[in-house]
Amino acid sequence: MNIKLLDSWVKDYLKTKASAKTIAEKLSLTSVSIERVEPFGKDFVYDIEITTNRPDLASAVSIAREAAAVLPEFGIPATFQNPKLTKPTPLKNPVPLTIKNDKTLVHRVCAVVMDVVVGKSPELIKTRLETAGIRSLNNVIDVTNYVMRTIGHPMHVFDYDRIKDHIILIRESKKGEQIVTLDKKDYELPGGDIVAEDTDGDIIDLLGIMGLENSVVTSETKRIIFFIDNVDPLRIRKTSMTLGIRTEAAQLNEKGIDPTLSMDALLLGIQLLQDHANGTVVSNIIDIYPNKPKEKNITVPERLIQSVMGVPISLKKSAEILKNLGFNVTINKETLSVIIPTSRTHDMDIPEDVVEEIARIYGYHNIPSILPQLPTASPYHKNQDQFYFENRVKEAMMYWGFTETYTYSFVSEDLYEGPLTDAITLANPLTEDMVYMRRTLIPSILQVLKENKAHDTLSLFEIANVYEKNGTNLPIETRMIAGIMRKPKASFYEMKGVVEQLLHDVGISDIRFLRRTEGLGADIKIEKENVGYIEVLDEHIVNFELNFEIILQYATLKKIYKPIAKFPPIIEDISLILPEETTTADVIEEIGKQSNLIAGVTLLDTYENTRTFHILYQHSERNLTGEEVGKIREHLIKTLKSKFKAEVK
C-alpha cells in the first residue's frame, strides 16, 4: 500500500536541514521506497510505498525516526524528536464505560469518553489530511485519521450516547449476521469477524475495518468514545477481503500494529480533541492489555554480517547503525546481542533479519558489484537440450509461414475436450472462461481462428503444456505442439508435409501415417509410438497436434556420413492400377523389400486409380545393366500382382 505525507508533518518530529528530495532519495535507497516527491506550495508531498513487513512505517513519526537513522550515514545531520504526550489526571466523577474484551480477537483496547463540540477542523489538519488523500469531514473524525497518520495506529470514535448502557462487548461474529456500515451499505458477515455488540445484542462496530451506521458520530454528537483497538491481523484480512471493504485502517490492521503504540495514539487523540474540538475528558482511561508482545533477543555472528554483505564491517559500526534504529545492542567478542523493539518483533526473528538492518543503512549502493565466478560447469549436451529443440522447431514453423500464439492454459467448459469428471478444475476460477486445465491445445487455437474471422488464410501454432489428472499425485504435464492451417481448399497433404519436415528437421525419419478411425485425417507414429495426429476439420481447416516430449525422445543431431554413390542409378517409373484401399505406404514398403539394389521408392503421381512410382536402382560398386534391372522389375511386378492385385499400366 502507498501513503502520502507532507514533508512538514514529518519534520514535526525530525530536526534536519535536508530537503524533501534528499530525504526521499536517501530513504528510498536504505529504508522505505518514496516513489514520488510532489511540490505543494512551499511544502512537499511524499508518496511512500509501505511493504507488508513494515506497517510500522506508515506514519509521520516512524518516517522521521528512520530518516534520523539514515541521514547521518550520508553525512547529513538529523535528530529524531518523540511526540510529547501526557496522561490526563484521574477524575472524581467519571462517566461509566465498560468494555468486555475477547483476548483471542483483540490484543489491546485503549478508550476514553470525551465531551466534544463537533465542527470544522483547523486548516493545518485539513491540509495535512487532504494532501494525504483523506477527506476532511469534521474535527472529531479528522482527529482519528490525523492520529493514525502521525502515530501509525488506526482507531475509531463512537457516539457515547448511542451505545446502550455504555457497554461494549467484543465478540466473534456468526455467519450471516447483518450490518450497515457508516457509509450506509448493507453487508452479511462471513462469520469469525471481530465485532462489538451492545447489551441488546445489536452489532455496533466491525472492529479494525469500519464503523457502523448505528453508532457513528454525527453532527449532533455531544459525547464520544475515543476507541483504540489492536486487533488480530489474520481475521481482519479475511473479513476485509471477503466483504471487499479495503479501508486504510483495514490495510494497516491486517499487517499487524505494534500494541505499545495504542496508548500513544489515545493520548495524542485526547490532546488534539482538547485543542480542536473543545474536548474534555469525562471518563477514566481504559487500558485492557492482555497480549503484550514478548521481548526478542537475537545474537548475530560477525562472520555472517560479512558473508552476506560481501564487504568487511566492524561490530562497532554495526552496533551504531542498530542503535540509531532503536535497537538495544551489546557488543560481544565475535557477535552482537540485539534486543528487538516491540514495533519490529513481528518481522524480526533470525540473525539475517538483523544483517538486513545493518546492510541497508550501511547502504546497498556502497556494496560493490561483482559477477560471481563460474563454478566448474557441468557438461553441456546439445542433443539433450529440450530448449534447443523447442526453439529450432519454433523457428522452422515461423519460416514455413506459421504465426505463434500464446493462449491461456485454462479453458471454458465449451472449449474443454473430454468428460468434465476427468477435468483438472480450478477451485477458485477468475471467470467462466478459465475453469478447466486444458487437455489439448487445438480448441484454444481454433478459438483464435474464430476471433480472427477477417483472415481467411492463416497458419498458427503453439507449443505449451496440456494437463491430465494423476490420482492423488500432481497432474501430468505434457508439452505439445499444435498447428492449424486455414485457407481456401486446405489440404491434408500440405499439413502432412509440415509434420514430416518438422520431424525430419530434428533427425526423425521413421514416421508412419495411419488412417484415423474417426474423422478424416491420420494418426502419426514415430517407430511404434503414437505421437499425435493430423485432422481435416473441413475443407478450409486442417490441424495437427503432436506430443513434443515424445519428439524430444527421438530427436537427434547425430549425422551419419554415407559415401556418395560413384555409379549413376537407373531410374524407372512404373504405373500401377491399384485397389483404392491399398495404401501407398504399403506398396512402397513392398517394392523396397524386393531387392537391396532398390535404393529408393517414391510416389510420383496419382491419377484416378493409377499410381506412378518412381524407383531408383543403384549398385555402390559398379554400373547396373538393363538385364539386372529387368529381372528385379519382373520379380517385383509379380509380387505386386499377387499381393495387391496390382495391374501394370
Partner 1 sequence: MEEELIGIKNAAISFIFEADSAEELEEIKLQFLGRSGKLTLTMKEMGKLPKEKRPQIGVLANEVKTTIEEALANASTRFSAHKKAVIQKKIDVTNPGIKPSLGHLHLITQAIAEITTIFEHIGFKRVRYPEIEWDHYAFTALNFPENHPARDDWETFFIDQKADAKKGQVVLTPHTSSGQIREMERMAELSKKSGEPVNIRMLNIAKTYRRQSDVSHTAMFHQFETLVVGKDISIADLKGVLDYFVKSYFGENRKSRIRPYHFQFTEPSFETDVSCGVCDGKGCKLCKEGWLELGGAGMVHPNVLRNCGLDPKVYTGFASGWGVERVLMMKEGITIDDLRLLYSNKVEFLEQF
- Binding to partner 1 (CB under 8 A): which residues in 49-88? 51-54
For partner 1, the closer of residues 378 and 517 by Cβ is: 378
Hey, which residues between 441 and 500 contact partner 1 (CB under 8 A)?
A: 448, 451-452, 455, 458-459, 461, 464-465, 467, 472, 474-475, 477
102 binds partner 1 (CB under 8 A): no
Question: CB within 8 A of 269, min separation 6: which ones?
Answer: 143, 144, 147, 155, 226, 228
For partner 1, the closer of residues 318 and 594 by Cβ is: 318
Single residue of 117, 420, 426, 648 touching partner 1 by CB under 8 A: 426
Q: Which amino acid is at 628?
A: E
Single residue of 39, 429, 579, 630 touching partner 1 by CB under 8 A: 429
For partner 1, the closer of residues 233 and 259 by Cβ is: 233
327 binds partner 1 (CB under 8 A): no
State the cell numbers at 167.
457497554
Size of the site for partner 1 (CB under 8 A): 89
Hey, which residues between 358 and 397 contact partner 1 (CB under 8 A)?
A: 359-360, 364-365, 367-372, 374-378, 386-387, 391, 394-395, 397
Q: In DSSP terms, which residues pair with 113 in a beta bridge? A: 225
Hey, which residues between 243 and 282 contact partner 1 (CB under 8 A)?
A: 254
416 binds partner 1 (CB under 8 A): no
- For residues 335 and 301, give the distance between their C-alpha atoms in angstroms, rounded to a whole number: 4
Shortest CB 517 distance to partner 1, Å: 32
Q: What angle do CA 392, 394, 395 make, to 5 degrees?
A: 65
551 binds partner 1 (CB under 8 A): no
Shortest CB 468 distance to partner 1, Å: 10
Question: CB within 8 A of 589, min separation 6: which ones?
Answer: none
Single residue of 178, 428, 596, 642 touching partner 1 by CB under 8 A: 428
432 binds partner 1 (CB under 8 A): no
Question: CB within 8 A of 503, min separation 6: which ones?
Answer: 509, 511, 526, 551
Single residue of 316, 430, 560, 621 touching partner 1 by CB under 8 A: 430
- For residues 385 and 392, give the distance between their C-alpha atoms in angstroms, rounded to a whole number: 11
State the cell numbers at 118.
463537533
Hey, which residues between 574 and 603 contact partner 1 (CB under 8 A)?
A: none
- For residues 1 and 222, give the distance between their C-alpha atoms in angstroms, rounded to a whole number: 35
Range in contact with partner 1 (rule: CB under 8 A) among 130-138, 200-208, 425-433, 486-494: 425-433
For partner 1, the closer of residues 525 and 540 by Cβ is: 540
- For residues 588 and 173, give the distance between their C-alpha atoms in angstroms, rounded to a whole number: 79
Q: What angle do CA 550, 553, 558 make, to 5 degrees?
A: 135
For partner 1, the closer of residues 245 and 434 by Cβ is: 434
571 binds partner 1 (CB under 8 A): no
Hey, which residues between 275 and 314 contact partner 1 (CB under 8 A)?
A: 307-311
Hey, which residues between 17 and 56 contact partner 1 (CB under 8 A)?
A: 24-25, 28-37, 51-54
Using DSSP's 3-state secondary structure scheme, residue 401 falls into coil
Strands 210-211 and 203-206: antiparallel
Name the DSSP class of 350. Answer: S
Site track 335-354 with partner 1 (rule: CB under 8 A), x = hit = ------------x--x-xx-
Using DSSP's 3-state secondary structure scheme, residue 381 falls into coil
Rg of the chain over Cα atoms, rounded to whole angstroms, equals 39
Name the DSSP class of 302. Answer: H
Return the H-helix or E-strand segment holding 196. strand 194-197
